[in-house]
Amino acid sequence: MGQAGYHLSYMKQAAGRGDAADENSFAAAVFTSLDLGANFTFDPLAEAVHQKTWAAFPDRTGPGLSYVCRPAWLEREESGRHLDRT
């Protein structure tokens, strides 16, 4: 198993013309690389994001926007090409 890692971030983006408020976002992610043998690796990633200031979008209402993504790559090491992306 490869080394696991993480990513934490905060972003503040000033309101542009026509926006109701600044945008504030938080993100957290974890990832690793798994050796499957025969020169194949599997690289999963999980990320959660929350945009706290939903009011930055004047046509939207509600307390905020949250989502989770779980992309992963299957790769053959000697070629460096991604074989599958889910």
- Give the pLDDT mean for 30-34: 91
The percent of residues in the chain predicted with pLDDT above 70, rounded, is 72
Q: Which of 27, 80, 30 is nearest to 50 (CA)?
A: 27
Amino acid of residue 72: A
Count CA within 13 A, CB hemisphere, residue 41. 16
Would you say how long the chain is, in residues?
86
Q: How far apart are CA 46 and CA 14, in angstroms?
A: 27
Q: What is the pTM of this model?
A: 0.62
Higher pLDDT, 73 or 32: 32
- Residue 78 binned pLDDT confidence (cut-offs 50, 70, 90): low
**Lowest mean pLDDT across 1-10, 20-29, 46-55:** 46-55
Please write the tens of the pLDDT for every residue from 44-68.
Answer: 989 998 887 655 555 555 567 777 8
Q: Which of 69, 68, 73 is nearest to 32 (CA)?
A: 73
